[in-house]
Structure 1
Amino acid sequence: MATTSITNALGAGSGVDIKELVTSLVDAQYAGKTARLTKQTEAITTQISGVATIKSGITGFASALSSLVKGGSLATSPTSSNPAIVIATALSGAKLAGLSSTIEVKQLAQSQVATSAIRQDTIASVGLGSFTLTFGTAEVTDGVMTKFTAGAPDAPGTIAPVVIPITSGNSGLSGIARAINAAGAGVVATVLTDADGSRLSIKGPTGEAKAFTLTATEDAAAPGLSSLNIGPAPTDGTAAPTTTIGSIAQDSLVAVDGTPLKRSGNSITDLVPGVKLDLVSASLGTKVTLGTSAPTTALSQAVNDFAETYNQLAAMLKEQTDPVSGALRTDSAAIALQRSLRGLTLTPLVTSGATGAPTTLAEIGLQTNRDGTLSVNAATLTSALMKYPDAVEAMFADGKGATGKGLSAALSAISDAAINTTTGLGASSVRYTKSQADLADDQADLTKAETNMTTRLTAQFAAMDARVAAYQSTLTFLTQQIDAWNNSSN
């Protein structure tokens, strides 16, 4: 048979296909080991994939529940009878059971806003020197500050005076605004421009004690900064400031259940326990009622969503730990996770409450079926939400507290244990990855051994074939000689 194969050409003397012979011998030697390594590699790869899938499933489940709980939609929320006057929201971790208050907003807190006289050029230098910004209380009449009292240095919340240098690089109206803002003193300076020209406008923080003055210390060689002064008229007879106070600094005035109170801002967190009040508008004589709204619908949906997500994860675990075909059927971490999840419905999630109140998921209608999945008994859940809404809400509360740790914390604990790198699936992942690397090394060694054996046998059979060819050549010569002798004798 004609062929261009070098190995086959080497068999020309013996008539043996050396390439096929060597391949058959090497396969016979290593086929079993190769098949075993391939099977082991495929199994390890499947195990690594299974671990990654389960880790993703349990961490995603725990994270989603935690986000839902922290979002606040599963907790009792405060209500306002008139959100156009007061908006009420719950503070983190608030317990609002029994909330009932009235709020009357008599005055909103506001900031002092001072605006300079008009200038035509925002870049031309006003003057050089510095400004001193001082906070305190002020009296204002018709846009003119008539009295100012600086805040006591040791008084709570007092902001120390701030010196703002004005140099040639920032002496124009726009530059002065930038310098004031860069000082970080709690005021905001802007340049307002219209057809008449430009003005420097400075707005301070809200609150009666956050009125402010701006007093220039001028460079005698480049005066002019005092034209932007904010404050009462000086007592030394010099010109009064030309800035206008368009808005005075004042506190908010509210009455909580009839008790008048003052705050420096319009967002208040220390008047009603557990509630943040955002004052929207003042309305003398209008009383806004604060109450609560139970998250009954949201909790019912959360229970059903929990069961659905649980079942998806349970199906994944069941497939991976199947005693016959599961890739992780002998993985202790996967089996432990499965066992922990199965016990979750019977785990007490609240440790205190009304007599007879449910403490486990099973008691609010989450029942375990024969196949390990969960289903929701709608009647039991509805009854629990009607009779013991606080207990059901506590199960979905954020973190640990007087009522127990809650479902989110319990699931997070299971998740943390599952992915633990010492005893959980994290450790399994490390172990399988190392086994995969070891198998790769074994495969490399096996491939090298096959190559070496192929080279050795090819060389041996080539040498044999060369000798057979030589013998064949000698035999042919002798045959020819004998034939020649016989012919000459005749």
Structure 2
Amino acid sequence: METSTTSSIVSRLGGGSGIDMTQLARDLAETRFLAQIGQLESRSEALQARISAASTLRSQITQLASALGDRIRNGDLSPSASLANPAVARVQVASSSSASGSYALEVQQLASAQMLAGNAYAGSGELVGEGTLTIRFGNIAGGSFTEDTGRTPATITVEATDTLADVAGKINASASGLTAYVAQTASGAQLVVKGETGEANGFVIEASGASASGGTPVAGNIDFLAWNPAGDSGQLRAAAQDAQFLFDTIAMSSASNSVTGLPEGLSLTLTQTNVGAPTRISFDDKNSAITAMMGDFTAALNDLTGALAELASPLSGELGNDPGARALKRELASLSTEIVIPNAAPGEPATLADLGLARTREGNFRLDADRLRDTLANNPAAAGAMFTTGLFGVFATIDNLAREVSRSTDPGSLGGSITRYTAQAGTIDERLEKIAEQQEALRERLVRQFAATDRNVTASQSTLSFLQNQIAAWNGRNGN
């Protein structure tokens, strides 16, 4: 009877059972907060699903706008023009151009830069004499020079040990717009100096200093490098002049052969004169590219509406009651009838519906090929003008929509929803971190308590062992 009671006491106290008090404390601490953690993690998973769904929709509309912009800027929808005589110029069109009409071009004179080939030296290593070269800029007409006093002259300091090649290097390093090199000719080594194109970029070279001749210079005198139009003896090989051309019979000029600021975003690189034989600039037909674009655009919109319908389903969608998703639905529902060219003339296309975009009863999009064909046949230029990167048009409409749905400060947009859900998820993470701290504190307290209990059990076991021995001894004596 006594032995049975003792075993029961030991069993209840855990003595000799091998119980891991540390693990027991950990298990109890985890169990204490298990329900709270489960609820919070479930809410966190739901929020992450909403963030992912809203991000997916936002990404789709942003990618659509980006792809459309790239196609207009660089693809088959980019405005382009051609010349009937392509030898006269190369023509480019800005991506924001409405690209319509045609223009006449007659190039009368190409822009050129002044070029000097100086007096001949025996070789590029010849010393040129100590002194200073001052290069002044302005207009040269005949034998006269008119300085541009608003432009800083280039000052080249020449040392006594400098050669003709050294002078060329110093001119190149002067950041004056001039370039220089030494040409080895039949006459000897000549310093060639070139300016920038345009009649205002003519220049003269003045020389002064210790080696100046004071009279008729020779190689070794610094003023042997000087030049002005009044004393030219063949050094001037090309004069600085502006390009002169007629654009639609209007006389225009340019300091370079690259001409910008023309109508319809046109820019030209003039390459040849065509005096008396004007050529015509015309814009390339984009009808086939527009038709292909509208087909791709309609398909992309249907991908977006399909994803929106699934993710914003009232019953099973992650964004079933999301204000940003509802706003996007409204925007897409009115997209085909939205005016994208507010300044369109009467009878010209102004909406995406004019380009064949139609809405179905099911809320999807379809391409009305007949309406698109009529628009391209009756208003090809106006239809092409709807595909620019300017303030209005198809791209501007989709780009504005993408910006609106991505606006993080608007609680009624997808961007606002992402911001809100992210903040809520962050709050849950903070609560989980706090629970983890509380859980650890509880575990440490239980470990301390169980350690004390374990010491008590050990002491009890020692007492029981003593009692068992005493009982056994008594029983032995009674048996005798």
TM category, shorter: 0.7 to 0.9
Q: Residues 259 and 396 from structure 1, CA distance in 2 versus in 1: closer, same or farther, beyond 3 angstroms?
A: closer
CA offsets per residue over residues 235-264 of structure 1, 9 Å max, x none?
xxxxxx676222233343434556666544
**Which of 105, 110, 113 pairs up with 1:111?**
113
Corresponding position of 1:230: 227
Corresponding position of 1:81: 84
Contact 2:182–2:192 (8 Å) recurs in 1: yes
Contact 1:78–1:89 (8 Å) recurs in 2: yes
What CA distance in whole angstroms lies between the structure 1 residues aligned with 2:63 and 2:286? 24
What CA distance in whole angstroms lies between the structure 1 residues aligned with 2:421 and 2:116? 70
Corresponding position of 2:131: 129
Q: Residues 127 and 77 from structure 1, CA distance in 2 versus in 1: closer, same or farther, beyond 3 angstroms?
A: same
- Post-superposition shift, 1:382? 1.9
Contact 2:71–2:78 (8 Å) recurs in 1: no
TM-score (structure 1 length as normaliser): 0.79
What CA distance in whole angstroms lies between the structure 2 residues aligned with 1:210 and 1:45? 65
Contact 2:212–2:222 (8 Å) recurs in 1: no
Corresponding position of 2:216: none
SS at match of 1:311: helix
Corresponding position of 1:310: 301
Corresponding position of 2:423: 434
- How many residue pairs match? The answer is 459
What CA distance in whole angstroms lies between the structure 2 residues aligned with 1:163 and 1:27? 82
Contact 1:227–1:242 (8 Å) recurs in 2: no
**Which of 143, 146, 158 pairs up with 1:151?**
146
**Which of 396, 412, 424 pairs up with 2:399?**
412
One-letter amino acid of the counterpart of residue 194, structure 2: K
**Which of 205, 208, 214 pairs up with 2:205?**
214
Corresponding position of 2:326: 335
List alignment gaps of at least 5 residues for structure 1: 1-8, 140-146, 235-240
Corresponding position of 2:156: 165
One-letter amino acid of the counterpart of residue 361, structure 1: L
- Post-superposition shift, 1:111? 1.7
- Post-superposition shift, 1:228? 1.7
Map 1:269-308; keep pairs closer than 5 Å: 269=260, 274-308=265-299
One-letter amino acid of the counterpart of residue 418, structure 1: V
One-letter amino acid of the counterpart of residue 178, structure 1: G
Q: Residues 231 and 99 from structure 1, CA distance in 2 versus in 1: closer, same or farther, beyond 3 angstroms?
A: same
Corresponding position of 2:5: none
- Post-superposition shift, 1:93? 4.4
Corresponding position of 2:217: none
CA offsets per residue over residues 169-189 of structure 1, 9 Å max, x none?
993333322332344333322
Contact 1:218–1:224 (8 Å) recurs in 2: no
- Post-superposition shift, 1:162? 0.9
- Post-superposition shift, 1:221? 7.7
Q: Residues 303 and 273 from structure 1, CA distance in 2 versus in 1: closer, same or farther, beyond 3 angstroms?
A: closer
- Post-superposition shift, 1:215? 1.8
What CA distance in whole angstroms lies between the structure 1 residues aligned with 2:242 and 2:439? 88
CA offsets per residue over residues 298-325 of structure 1, 9 Å max, x none?
2222222322333333344344333344
What CA distance in whole angstroms lies between the structure 1 residues aligned with 2:429 and 2:254? 70
**Does residue 1:421 correspond to 2:412, yes or no?**
no
List alignment gaps of at least 5 residues for structure 2: 1-10, 214-219
What CA distance in whole angstroms lies between the structure 2 residues aligned with 1:298 and 1:191? 53
SS at match of 1:54: helix
What CA distance in whole angstroms lies between the structure 1 residues aligned with 2:419 and 2:324? 12
SS at match of 1:45: helix
- Post-superposition shift, 1:272? 6.0
Q: Residues 406 and 94 from structure 1, CA distance in 2 versus in 1: closer, same or farther, beyond 3 angstroms?
A: closer
Contact 1:113–1:247 (8 Å) recurs in 2: yes
- Post-superposition shift, 1:413? 2.1
SS at match of 2:385: helix
Corresponding position of 2:72: 69
**Does residue 1:476 correspond to 2:433, yes or no?**
no
Contact 1:174–1:191 (8 Å) recurs in 2: yes
- Post-superposition shift, 1:412? 2.3
**Which of 442, 451, 454 pairs up with 1:462?**
454
SS at match of 2:68: helix
What CA distance in whole angstroms lies between the structure 2 residues aligned with 1:274 and 1:32? 67
CA RMSD across the alignment: 3.7
What is the identity percentage for the equivalent residue pairs of Structure 1 and Structure 2?
Answer: 27
Q: Residues 51 and 151 from structure 1, CA distance in 2 versus in 1: closer, same or farther, beyond 3 angstroms?
A: farther
What CA distance in whole angstroms lies between the structure 2 residues aligned with 1:282 and 1:132? 35
One-letter amino acid of the counterpart of residue 114, structure 2: Q
What CA distance in whole angstroms lies between the structure 1 residues aligned with 2:442 and 2:247? 94
- Post-superposition shift, 1:343? 2.6
CA offsets per residue over residues 21-50 of structure 1, 9 Å max, x none?
656644543332232232223233333333
